[in-house]
Copies of this chain bind each other. A is one copy, B any other.
Amino acid sequence: MGGGIGAFIGDAHRRASRICNDFQLIGGVFDVDYEKSKEFARQEGVSLNRCYATLDEFVSGELALPLGERIEAVSIVTPNFLHYAFARKLIENGFHVICEKPMTTTVEEAEELKALVEKHKVSFCLTHTYTGYPMVRQMKELIKDGVLGDVQRVDAQYYQGWINSIIHGTESRITGVWRLDPKTAGVSSCMGDIGVHAFNLIEYTTGLEVKRVLSDLSPVKEDVQLDLDGTVLLRFDDRLKGVIRASQVAAGEENNLTIAVYGSKASLKWEQENPNYLYLLSDTEPTKIYKPAHGYNSGFAEASQVMPAGHPEGIYEAFGNLYKGIAKAIRGEELFEGEFPTVQDGVRGMKFIHGVVQSDKDNNCWVDL
């Protein structure tokens, strides 16, 4: 659904699905404009019979086919506000779904999708791409194995700078950016788009749940309506605290997502821009650098890189690992825990986004997730 000519994220999904070698593009609705959709189908060598004008036609057309020929999984790469309706319809009709984030626009919709996924027994993958990196998976496994002892502090950061040149540019350019418009972007820009990745990474790697948040967000410039920058204090169970820092106007930052998890026995640090390096720090031993494609890694991490050590795989391969995960799920193969983000990650993400926006509005009070 979506992702036709000129669509950036659709292209990323196609490349990811091709790398992992488990998917073939058979059909879809590639554009609201049916002519453009067909042009795209021709380019990609997709049969025009399977290039549908609308979601309804897609569903009825595919359901009319015998089970073996029918499209099994559908990627939703439409504008955000359509995710929910499209996902709902597809799940209700038994299609497996790969959905771009944010999954929905409200917590209620997210919970509804979750219930539907369970009811209809389909697989659902939310593309929190960064969980596909081998060393993020190794981090998860090391924490699960108790290498850190008790987690004592969590610190994640997601700094980008690309919106900085927009807000300091001309007025017309500002209004042109849909992320800055509450009508299209929803309740949050920075936290909704990137802060939520940091949040997901924390819950993914630690296996812990954030219970409460206190946030301090900023639109940075007067004429901006949404948050472009902010800090979120995190409260887990008991004594455990943490922090998420995020910005879309950190001049010169590219895609600087980092996570540090500090434990009673040791600590782990990872950076997205150098994804093949995982640092294990301890008080008593030299810092250790874990890298992919080594026998010392967990089976899950090892299954997440194809090339030998020192041949850097990157973001497409991480993305491909998610596609590979849901492919395995669809085929009923045994999965590693966390091989792809699920509809539950989507529910958690929506709670986070709405929680931090609420806290900021209420003068930086604590909000339960």
Kindly state the separation between the CA atoms of A294 and B161 in the bound complex, as whole angstroms: 12
A24 adjacent to chain B (CB < 8 Å): yes
**What's the least CB distance linking A362 to chain B, in Å?**
13
Contacting B at CB under 8 A, from A251-267, are 251-256, 260, 262-267
User: In the complex, what residues of B have CB within 8 A of residue A79's CB?
Assistant: none
Kindly state the separation between the CA atoms of A366 and B280 in the bound complex, as whole angstroms: 36
User: In the complex, what residues of B have CB within 8 A of residue A251's CB?
Assistant: 148-149, 152, 262-267, 281-283
Kindly state the separation between the CA atoms of A245 and B228 in the bound complex, as whole angstroms: 20
Most B CB contacts (10 A, CB to CB) among A218, A245, A285, A314 go to A314
Kindly state the separation between the CA atoms of A162 and B281 in the bound complex, as whole angstroms: 12
Interface residues of A: mostly helix, strand, loop or mixed?
loop
Q: How large is the interface on A (under 10, 10 to 19, 20 to 34, 35 or more residues)?
A: 35 or more
**What's the least CB distance linking A147 to chain B, in Å?**
11
User: In the complex, what residues of B have CB within 8 A of residue A152's CB?
Assistant: 164, 220, 229, 249-251
The segment from A58-66, A95-103, A301-309, A327-335 found at the interface with B is A301-309
Kindly state the separation between the CA atoms of A125 and B314 in the bound complex, as whole angstroms: 24
Copies of this chain held together in the complex:
4
A339 adjacent to chain B (CB < 8 Å): no
Given contacts A281-B252, A316-B19, contact A162 B308 (CB under 8 A): yes
**Residue on B nearest A219 in the bound complex, by CB:** B239
Contact B231 A243, beta carbon cutoff 8 Å: yes
**What's the least CB distance linking A237 to chain B, in Å?**
13
Partner of A315, one of B245, B284, B313: B313
Contacting B at CB under 8 A, from A195-253, are 214, 216, 218-222, 229-231, 233, 239, 241, 243, 245, 247, 249-253
**What's the least CB distance linking A216 to chain B, in Å?**
5
User: In the complex, what residues of B have CB within 8 A of residue A266's CB?
Assistant: 251-252
Give the 4 A-B CB pairs with smallest separation, nearest first.
A252-B281, A254-B310, A255-B310, A314-B314
